[in-house]
Amino acid sequence: MDIIDFRAYSPLPKTMKAIADPGSPLGNYVARYHLGDLSGNAMPPERFLEKLDRLNIRYCVMASGGAPNDEVAQYASRSERLVGIASISPHDPYTAVREIQRCYDMGMRLVGLGPYQDGLLANHRLYYPIYAKCCELGMAVVVHTSFNFGRGLRLDTGRPLHLDDVATDFPNLVIVASHGGWPWVPEMAAVAWRHENVYIEVSGHRNKYMVGPGSAWESLFYYGNGPLKEKIVWGSIWPYLDMERQVEEARQLPFKAEVQKLLFFDNAQRILKRCGAIR
């Protein structure tokens, strides 16, 4: 079965350096995940595509992790199977809107937002020019929606309920909520069920721990096998978690066989085609 990995980091040297920087908001993740030196994960597109081939991953959606948008776009341009996410800061709305247009002109069709890093809720007015510009261009937004390990960063910035306002005010905007909204999974399920334009991306957690008693993922599996079966996509969050192991463990998640195909490929393909990231 072909797979779309909707959440990995670009294998650029600057990405690996940035996400391992102990002084950055993401640096604490390296200690939490016991990763050590990540520099060995930097690789040219050809070698990364070989890695994807071994796992039947047809497309990989890559976050910048701190690398410049230009370099992520250039890396992704080496293959139609690689999809870059433009990293945008909302604090200067005029600059943000211009950067979105520039990224669009470079071929990028997804915009990544990290409310926890920005110190804002996802429905903050500073994000609204970004949402409006993405609607204008037909781009999708990928919004961090979960808890975080960042030092000194607010936890409530990841609550899914904040996306309810955004989805209501921008009904034509494709919104992908990263990391499944954990630990507010029932809230995440409610927002995605309520809004046709909201999708749930599941990454950032060892899949084998998601099925244990008290994991808080029960709502995802219950509704994911029913009314939300076309609203969930999967991501490995490589290199924080091992891509091979994540694929193997994800196959054991308690989704019906027909839902597994939707989770691994069809739902993500529909999103990426809608925003023009793939043909």
Q: How do residues 119-135 score in pLDDT, each as one tens digit? A: 999 999 999 999 999 99
Q: How do residues 167-180 score in pLDDT, each as one tens digit? A: 999 999 999 999 99
DSSP 3-state assignment of 260? Answer: helix
The residue that leads in pLDDT, 22 or 58, is: 58
Average pLDDT, the chain: 94
**What pLDDT shows up at residue 174?**
98
Q: How do residues 83-115 score in pLDDT, each as one tens digit? A: 999 999 999 999 999 999 999 999 999 999 999
**What pLDDT shows up at residue 26?**
67
* Least trusted range by pLDDT, from 20-34, 44-58, 237-251, 255-269: 20-34
Mean pLDDT for the stretch of residues 249-261: 95
**What pLDDT shows up at residue 151?**
72
In sequence order, what are the residues at sequence separation of 6 or more whose Cβ sits closer than 8 angstroms to the Cβ of residue 59?
Answer: 4, 5, 81, 82, 83, 268, 269, 272, 278
pLDDT of 37 > 90? The answer is no
Helix axes 162-169, 185-194, angle to 10 degrees: 10
pLDDT of 36 > 80? The answer is no
The pair of structure tokens assigned to 35 is 């990763």
The pair of structure tokens assigned to 135 is 């609607």
Containing 102, the helix (H) or strand (E) segment is helix 93-105
Mean pLDDT for the stretch of residues 29-43: 80
Name the residue with tokens 């990763």: 35
CA distance 90 to 101: 14
CA distance 112 to 86: 6
- Compute φ and ψ for 94, nearest 5 degrees: -65, -45
Mean pLDDT for the stretch of residues 133-159: 93
Q: Report the percent of the chain where pLDDT is more than 70.
A: 98
Containing 220, the helix (H) or strand (E) segment is helix 218-224
**What pLDDT shows up at residue 1?**
87
Q: How far is CA 192 from CA 141, 160, 272, in A?
A: 14, 9, 18
pLDDT of 12 > 70? The answer is yes
Give the global pTM: 0.96
Mean pLDDT for the stretch of residues 253-271: 97
Mean pLDDT for the stretch of residues 36-62: 95
pLDDT of 25 > 80? The answer is no
pLDDT of 27 > 70? The answer is no
pLDDT of 278 > 90? The answer is yes
